[in-house]
Structure 1
Amino acid sequence: MLNPSGLKKQLDYLIHLSERRSYLIAVSGGADSMVLVWLFNELKDVGYPFQVAHVNYGLRGSDSDLDQKVAEDFCKKNNIKFHLYQVSEKDRKPGNSIQFWARELRYRFFREIQEKEHLEFLVTAHHLNDQLETFIINLSKAAGINGLSGIPANSNGILRPLLNFTKEEIYCFARENNIAYREDLSNQKNDYLRNRIRNCIVPELLETNDHFLENFRKSLSYLNQTRDFVQEKIQETENRISIADRPHTILSREKLAQESDFAKFEILKKYGFNQENEIPKIFNTENGSSFFSADYRLIINREELIFKKRTGDEEQNQDEEIVLIENFDFSENQIIINLESNIGSIEEINKTFEWCFDAGKLRFPLRLRRQQDGDEFFPYGFSGKKKVSKFFRDEKISILARRKIWILADRENSILGIIPYRQDRRYAGDEKTNNILRIFNKSKNEI
């Protein structure tokens, strides 16, 4: 059962440390986040200092203001530092997806508060029912064991201490302790995939077995243990075939080729090479060939596989193709790629752009390449398709400048966008998008 002592033990387990930490709690005003902040308030005197952040999007009129009031009143009553972001006309309005826009806005706000207040962890109130919804979504997308293992309790500086508790347990706890909260009635609408799963599929599943959620909780635990065991064995295999690991990782190509397809895939995936139909090329290509992932360059040196960490100093050859992302991990709702941090500073990309893609429509891996004869795409904001050569003419881009422009393409060589000018509208995210790939670059004038 949910209690302050249980939360303390859960947090200790998550961070594996005994010294004091600091936290920013994301509070919406709903039952789950209000219970979370109540629990932290009970623990603040025993080593868990925290502050609270709330975003008022203003999308539900007075209901949005009442959500804010519940969270803010609790913080005032208990002398908790409260950070509010009030969305206004100055904020960029939703483009293709309100969910994407809202998610980006709040996490940017959270990061700013964490940096300003020196708060180490962001804490969210995801619970076991959220886990079940994510599991079903990932099951439908062949996400593999990582996706089926659920939302991580501790990843990228975000803690989710309520993951083992059901929504009903959280509601009961709120009632027993007279914790005020607000219901978001928009969750009852079936306009998004997650809402349809939550409102239609999950209730049917729960009716099949009185212990469904408890059994699901155990199944997640088994899946996580299986994943950890597999990763341990994969690491043992890599160590056995390793030739050197400083300054670069070097593996025996011959020995890796003798391993199972699963082992080859898992080892190469660690370095960003996780497209199954591309892996055989690594073992059949000629000496001196190179492969690129977002973070590594793989060099074939006779019977050695040399993995070199990529830097911003690498030359951008006119004929080079850069693998930007091998695949999308559907255990995450969103993956964000900053071109500069992923492939280094690119001189010719000196203009801000930000593209949102529906990951379910993309054919991975995605790569950067130069213009090719016959290239055409469907530019966002225009009807019909257009030849890239004509697009360059219309944009008055010189011949020399065109040779330096990067084109984002997919596995089938379809164009996803001309960087940094125009995205292809066929793959853009919209209000129905559940898994988002965001690609952006910051102008040098903004750095």
Structure 2
Amino acid sequence: MTQIPSLNTHKIAADLLVDRFLNHLQILLDETGKEKFLLAISGGPDSMALLTLFKSVQLSNVGEFVIGHVNHHLRSDSNKDQEFVQVVGKEWHVPVFIRHLEPRSNEKNESTEAWARENRYRFLKTMAYESGCNWIVTGHHGNDQLETVLMNLAHHTGVIGLGGMNTKHGKILRPLLPFSKHDLNGFISRYSIPFVEDATNNDISIPRNFIRNQVIGSWEKQYPDLISAVNETVSHFSEWNNALFFFVDRIIDNNVYYLSKGKIEISKSSITNLPTIVQAMVFQTLTQSRGQWRRHDYTILKQFIKSDKTGTTLQQKKGWELLNNRKRWILRKQEKRSKNKLEIKPGDIVEFGNYVYGMNLLKKPESFTANRNTEILDWDKIKNRRLFFRYWCTGDKFQPLGLVGHQKVSDFLINNKIDRFSKDDQVILTADDDIIWVCGMRIDESVKVTPRTKKTVELQRFS
């Protein structure tokens, strides 16, 4: 293991790069009070430069900071990186938090890089919460910004992709973006800052490494001011993006309705006449996926909107699903439905699906309630039967109260113009496998209260 030298922070603090970093960090933090930071430290040169800078600056609103390290277990020597970071934390008196990724858990059809990035940020957020940190700070620098922009161009992300990474996004800070890799390497060399090398960074079969080693390296030699020029250009695109999203946010504020259980509704008429790119930006914003769309995503959405076929759905980023429902678009987060059923007895309060249900015997027989979430049933018809909640399934039938003959639950829901998402979530109550209540909709004719009813039971559904 590399011996970790102590830092001469007084000498380092006099460096011009530290002064530039301090000024930039102060602008990012604005007038905030004393903050606590989780520094994302891999052990590589960029993150070690970041850690050294934080050790050396004196700023009123920079309070405590801790190290967050994610061991991806994608390389045979990843444990050595972890050990290095732990030793650095011990020698430099900075608390270290560690999390581990499990490569075998990557079951999705996505690149290893995308999977690692998503889970790395997820763990960083977890560590920030556990350590009481206000901010997550990464070591992305100007060369990383150029790599990102070029990768976005290759992925057809359009104008939004040209905006690159933000120096401040939510609770994530990237204070090294104004600095080039050359700047940071010089800083590391001047003060003999220790770091570990990731050999896979030289593997040009990885697209980002190819851009870094085969494109940017040669380009920067020809144009030494390349990184600063790119940073300036990216800031212009970011301003354009922010301006566009400002108007998108106004559209959302005036036309979007947030329904129960996480559903989002927007009328078609409110966005039909907008350019397709603006419609896409509306859905990007609602699904928290700004900057993550590729050309394919735009093309599919455009075709989906143009087809305008009621009842069809489109998968969106981050597990969202978009439904074409007559005069409205409806978004919801996809969730796995339970295949189990849940029993209920008098006096019980149980939770199933998106609702809580209660069941109580009534002292005096009652026959009617105008509340669709409350039903009164003839207790004698079901008292010797087991009652279970479950989701409806294909082939289910019941006899809706007031109608002659049985009807398929699917037809009943369609006739009542229930949208597909609500239809998917529809719960029924059965008595020994016979449907007695399509919850929130209608009871079965067989359990209705009649003049001969002696005892009744009340069923309630709560949001």
SS at match of 2:68: strand
- Give runs of aligned pairs for residues 156-195 of structure 1, distance below 5 A: 157-195=171-209
Q: Which residue of 1 aligns with 2:35?
A: 21
**Are residues 1:155 and 2:146 paired?**
no
Following superposition, the deviation at residue 220 of structure 1 comes to 0.5
Counterpart-to-counterpart distance in 2, 1:182 and 1:72: 13
* Cα-to-partner distance string for 1:1-40 (whole Å, 9 max, x where unaligned): 9734443443444455512222211212211101101111
Counterpart-to-counterpart distance in 1, 2:106 and 2:245: 40
SS at match of 2:88: helix
**Are residues 1:280 and 2:306 paired?**
yes
Equivalent pair of 2:256/2:267 in contact (CA under 8 Å): no
SS at match of 2:182: helix
Distance 1:254 1:177, change over 3 A: same
Distance 1:251 1:295, change over 3 A: closer
Following superposition, the deviation at residue 210 of structure 1 comes to 2.9
Q: Which residue of 1 aligns with 2:157?
A: 143
**Are residues 1:348 and 2:339 paired?**
yes
Instruction: Indicate which of 44, 51, 66 corresponds to 1:51.
Output: 66
Q: Which residue of 2 aligns with 1:231?
A: 245
**Are residues 1:214 and 2:240 paired?**
no
Following superposition, the deviation at residue 237 of structure 1 comes to 5.8
Give the counterpart letter for 2:208 in structure 1. R
SS at match of 1:22: strand
Give the counterpart letter for 2:32 in structure 1. S
Equivalent pair of 1:291/1:299 in contact (CA under 8 Å): no
Following superposition, the deviation at residue 212 of structure 1 comes to 1.8
Counterpart-to-counterpart distance in 2, 1:57 and 1:252: 44
Distance 1:49 1:62, change over 3 A: same
Give the counterpart letter for 1:52 in structure 2. I
Give the counterpart letter for 2:339 in structure 1. E
SS at match of 2:136: strand
* Cα-to-partner distance string for 1:206-253 (whole Å, 9 max, x where unaligned): 2342322221111111111111122234445666xx468687988675
Give the counterpart letter for 1:214 in structure 2. S
Give the counterpart letter for 2:173 in structure 1. L
Q: Which residue of 1 aligns with 2:147?
A: 133
Q: Which runs of 5+ in 2 are unaligned?
A: 1-14, 288-296, 342-391, 397-463
Following superposition, the deviation at residue 150 of structure 1 comes to 0.7
Counterpart-to-counterpart distance in 1, 2:113 and 2:269: 47
**Are residues 1:75 and 2:89 paired?**
yes
Counterpart-to-counterpart distance in 1, 2:278 and 2:119: 39
Counterpart-to-counterpart distance in 2, 1:124 and 1:23: 10
Equivalent pair of 2:40/2:68 in contact (CA under 8 Å): yes
**RMSD in angstroms over aligned alpha carbons?**
4.1
Distance 1:71 1:349, change over 3 A: farther
Instruction: Indicate which of 194, 210, 227 corresponds to 1:196.
Output: 210
Equivalent pair of 1:271/1:295 in contact (CA under 8 Å): no
Equivalent pair of 2:38/2:136 in contact (CA under 8 Å): yes
Q: Which residue of 2 aligns with 1:318?
A: none
Q: Which residue of 2 aligns with 1:205?
A: 219
Distance 1:184 1:259, change over 3 A: closer
SS at match of 1:3: helix
Counterpart-to-counterpart distance in 2, 1:219 and 1:176: 30
Counterpart-to-counterpart distance in 2, 1:86 and 1:279: 41
Range with bigger deviation, 143-152 or 111-120? 111-120
SS at match of 1:35: helix
TM-score (norm 2): 0.55
Structure of greater relative contact order (alpha carbons < 8 Å, 6+ residues apart): 1
* Cα-to-partner distance string for 1:264-316 (whole Å, 9 max, x where unaligned): 4434544459611222345xx67xx6867626666544xxx5x6664xxxxxx
Counterpart-to-counterpart distance in 2, 1:59 and 1:251: 43
Equivalent pair of 1:12/1:18 in contact (CA under 8 Å): no
Counterpart-to-counterpart distance in 1, 2:106 and 2:252: 45
Following superposition, the deviation at residue 49 of structure 1 comes to 1.2
Counterpart-to-counterpart distance in 1, 2:258 and 2:240: 30
Equivalent pair of 1:24/1:123 in contact (CA under 8 Å): yes
Counterpart-to-counterpart distance in 1, 2:75 and 2:325: 54
Distance 1:173 1:245, change over 3 A: same
- Give runs of aligned pairs for residues 21-420 of structure 1, distance below 5 A: 21-43=35-57, 46=60, 47-56=62-71, 65=80, 67-68=81-82, 70-85=84-99, 92=104, 99=113, 103=117, 106-107=120-121, 109-155=123-169, 157-236=171-250, 242=254, 253-254=268-269, 256-271=271-286, 275-282=301-308, 294=320, 299-301=325-327, 305=328, 310=332, 342-344=333-335, 346-348=337-339
Counterpart-to-counterpart distance in 2, 1:40 and 1:349: 52
Counterpart-to-counterpart distance in 2, 1:30 and 1:260: 44
Counterpart-to-counterpart distance in 2, 1:68 and 1:268: 40
Counterpart-to-counterpart distance in 2, 1:151 and 1:256: 28
Structure number, greater radius of gyration = 2
TM-score (norm 1): 0.57
